[in-house]
Amino acid sequence: MKKKNLALLMAGAMAATSLMAGYTLVMADEKEGYTIGLAMNTQTNPFFVTVKEGVQKACDERGIELIVTDAQDDPAIQQKDVENLITKKPDAIIIDTCDSDAIVSSVEACNEAGIPVFTMDREANGGEVISHIGYDAIKSGKLAGQFLADTLEGKGKIVELQGVMGTNVAQNRSEGFNEVIKENPDMEIVACQVADFDRAKAMSVMENILQANPEIDGLYAANDEMLLGALEAIEGAGRTDEIVKCGCDALDETMDAIRDGSVEATIAEPPFFLGKAILETAYNYLEGEEVEEVVILDNQLVTKDNVDDIVTKE
C-alpha cells in the first residue's frame, strides 16, 4: 500500500459533494449490516464533535451501526473504551487517539482479536493499523508561520500555544511553524506554552503571557479552541488590534471571528470531512477493496479574503 496525498479544499464556492469526490470510493452495490466502533478522544471539543458528525453521516448513508465512546481526553479511559468495544465484536474499530504511545496496547489488543483498526487525525505509534487518515500537520504549521511572517513583514514578537504534545499532530504543527519562524531572523518567539488544545487552559495561559509581555505582535494557536480561548484573554486586556492571530481547524466560531475581524486567520482542516473519509475507508475495506495505508488530506489558509469560499460541511 502506498501513501496518498489528496487535495480536498478547493478555493471557490464549490458544493460539498464536489469536494468529497476527490477521495470517496463508494461501491455501487452497498452492503448493509456492519457494526463499527468509534473510540473518540473527546466529545466536548467542537472539532471532535464535528468529526463524529461526519462519521455518523457516512454510517447513515450505508446502514451501518455506530458505537461511540468518549475518553474525555484521558488515555487510560480510552484504553478501557477500546477493551469494551472489542467485547462487542464490531466489524472494525476507528480510533482517534488521546496519546500516540498510550494507544499502542489497545491497537495490539484489536489485532489479537482480529478486528481491523483504523486511526484518524492522531496516529498510533505501534500496532497494525489498516489505514490512517489525517491532515498535513507540518504543512498546517508552515501555513500559519508564513501567514504571520507575511503579515508582519518578517519581524515581530510571537507567541505559540501548543496542543497535546503526546500526539503527532501537536508535534508536527509546532515543527512546521517553527521551521518558518527560523527562516525569519527578525521574528522572535517570546513565549511558547502548552495549552493542550483546550479553550479554558489557553485563556489562562494567554492571560499570564500578556501580563509578562507588554509587546506581542503575533499569535499562533495550534487549534481554534486554543485560539478562541486566547482571544478572550486578548480582548479582556484590550489588545485585540495589537496582535495578529492565527489558529487551525476552521471551526464555525472562528470563521465568524474572521468575518468580524477579531481573528485574522486559521488553517482549514474540516473535521466533518475527516470523519466521513475514515468511515468510508473502513467501509471500503470491509467490502473487500484495497485501501491506502496513509491518506493525507489537504489544508488551506483561511483569511477574510476567502472565508466565504471555504466548504467545511455538507
pLDDT tens, residue by residue, 93-142: 999 999 999 999 999 999 999 999 999 999 999 999 999 999 999 999 99
pLDDT at 20 over 50: no
Domain extents for the chain? Answer: 3-136+271-298, 137-268
Give CA 299 to chain center in angstroms. Answer: 10
CATH architecture of 3-136+271-298: 3-Layer(aba) Sandwich (3.40)
Helical axes 224-236 vs 46-62, angle rounded to 10°: 150
- Cβ partners under 8 Å of residue 237, min gap 6: 207, 210
**Beta carbons of 254 and 281 less than 8 angstroms apart:** no
pLDDT-derived band at 24, boundaries 50, 70, 90: very low
The HSE-up count of residue 26 (CA atoms within 13 Å, CB side) is 15
How far is the C-alpha of 67 from the C-alpha of 80, rounded, in Å? 14
Do the domains spanning 3-136+271-298 and 137-268 agree at the CATH topology level? yes
Of 227, 240, 251, nearest to 307 (Cα)? 251
Q: pTM score, two decimals? A: 0.85
Report how far apart, in Å, the C-alpha atoms of 259 and of each of 252, 269, 302 are: 11, 18, 11
> Hey, which bits of 96-151 come out as E strands?
117-120, 131-135
Dihedral over Cα of 122, 123, 128, 130: its sign: positive
**Beta carbons of 114 and 89 less than 8 angstroms apart:** no
Residue with cell 477500546: 82
CATH 3.40.50.2300 fits 137-268, yes or no: yes
Query: What's the average model confidence in pLDDT over 191-199?
Result: 98
Query: What's the average model confidence in pLDDT over 10-29?
Result: 35
* DSSP letter, residue 307: G
Give CA 209 to chain center in angstroms. Answer: 25
How far is the C-alpha of 292 from the C-alpha of 80, rounded, in Å? 28
pLDDT-derived band at 44, boundaries 50, 70, 90: very high
Residue 73 backbone zone (phi > 0: left; psi -120 to 50: alpha; other: beta) = left
pLDDT-derived band at 314, boundaries 50, 70, 90: confident
Radius of gyration of the chain (CA): 20
Query: What's the average model confidence in pLDDT over 37-47?
Result: 96
Higher pLDDT, 310 or 11: 310
